[in-house]
């Protein structure tokens, strides 16, 4: 078992592309506006950087409309990085593109290469374990390969289930600190967080479960005042970020970055 905290020295983000209008979405609730997306993205980057982390901003990739959701392409651990194998066919190439970038930070960059699929949005790394929610994008075979690869650094991988109809495991939860998880009631009902302290999103505000703890801040999307109040009262330092455009493509706070503390090379 390895330990992983909520403190990070680095983050990588990718600018949204003009092709973002063609991004995947479960339900069409409107086309994202690139200019507004860029403003929200700039606020997001500024919030990460305000904690003292070094934020690397990669150029947009027009051929990959969903590539702004960079979290899905890799899992960054303290010892090395694991390149994912996205279950969405249109996103497979994003994984190949991130590998050389990660090699600039890590000596060890390894990849899921079997027939299975796994996306970073289905992976929650806590102080104690790596939780992987199987979903329409992540299967048991991809999870098994992650278990084998992360095993070299003695991480424990536990397979759980993403609720039916929910894009990713982390669409419905986030790590708030070493022992606390922000979760929707529908996800925690599966008992996958037994042993953790759970804070539930306010009823009707399930869409803000995808938050991130990044150093001293908890970044959450604007527009969820009751959950923000619950977290504020629990002592978390909340920063709200506009997310209307990413939300049109089922994206939230975690999807927009890779967060990590690489070994010093």
Q: Which residues bind ligand CIR (CB under 6 A)?
A: 23-25, 66, 69, 71-72, 88, 91, 120-121, 167-168, 171, 249-251, 254-255
What whole-number distance in Å separates Cα of residue 35 and Cα of residue 238? 25
Q: Active-site residue among 6, 168, 192, 208?
A: 168
At its nearest, how many Å lie between ligand CIR and the CB of residue 256? 8
Is 10 an annotated catalytic residue? Answer: no
At its nearest, how many Å lie between ligand CIR and the CB of residue 210? 6
What whole-number distance in Å separates Cα of residue 227 and Cα of residue 202? 5
Q: Do the Cβ atoms of 13 and 55 come closer than 8 Å?
A: yes
Taking the least distance from each CB to ligand CIR, the nearer of 28 and 194 is: 28
Is 76 an annotated catalytic residue? Answer: no
Taking the least distance from each CB to ligand CIR, the nearer of 111 and 124 is: 124
Taking the least distance from each CB to ligand CIR, the nearer of 90 and 190 is: 90
Q: Do the Cβ atoms of 215 and 51 come closer than 8 Å?
A: yes
At its nearest, how many Å lie between ligand CIR and the CB of residue 87? 9
DSSP line for 45-88: HHHHHTTT-EEEEEPP-TT-TTTT-GGGGEEE-SS-EEE-B-SS
Tell me the residue number closest to ligand CIR, measured at CB.
Answer: 121
What whole-number distance in Å separates Cα of residue 223 and Cα of residue 182? 16
Taking the least distance from each CB to ligand CIR, the nearer of 38 and 108 is: 38
At its nearest, how many Å lie between ligand CIR and the CB of residue 26? 7
Phi, psi of 243 (to 5 degrees): -140, 15
Q: Which two tokens stand for residue 159?
A: 């397979």
Catalytic amino acids? 168, 255
């Amino acid at each position: 078992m390895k330990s992983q905290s909520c403190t990070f020295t680095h983050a990588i983000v990718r600018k949204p592309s003009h092709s973002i209008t063609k991004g995947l979405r479960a339900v069409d609730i409107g086309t994202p506006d690139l200019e507004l997306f860029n403003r929200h993205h700039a606020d997001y980057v500024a919030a990460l950087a305000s904690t003292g982390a070094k934020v690397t901003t990669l150029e947009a990739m027009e051929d990959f409309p969903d590539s702004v959701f960079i979290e899905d392409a890799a899992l960054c651990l303290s010892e090395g990085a694991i390149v994912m194998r996205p279950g969405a066919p249109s996103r497979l190439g994003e994984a190949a593109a991130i590998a050389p970038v990660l090699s600039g930070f890590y000596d060890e960059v390894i990849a899921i290469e079997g027939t299975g699929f796994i996306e970073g949005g289905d992976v929650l790394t806590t102080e104690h374990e790596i939780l992987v929610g199987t979903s329409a994008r992540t299967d048991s075979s991809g999870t098994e390969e992650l278990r084998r690869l992360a095993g070299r650094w003695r991480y424990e991988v536990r397979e759980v289930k993403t609720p039916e109809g929910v894009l990713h495991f982390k669409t419905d939860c986030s790590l708030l600190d070493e022992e606390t998880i922000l979760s929707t009631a529908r996800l925690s009902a599966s008992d996958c967080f037994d042993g953790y302290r759970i804070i539930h999103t306010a009823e009707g505000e399930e869409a803000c479960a995808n938050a991130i703890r990044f150093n001293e801040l908890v970044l959450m999307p604007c527009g969820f005042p009751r959950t923000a109040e619950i977290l504020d009262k629990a002592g978390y330092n909340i920063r709200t970020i506009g997310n209307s455009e990413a939300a049109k493509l089922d994206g939230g706070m975690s999807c927009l970055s890779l967060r990590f503390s690489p070994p010093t090379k």
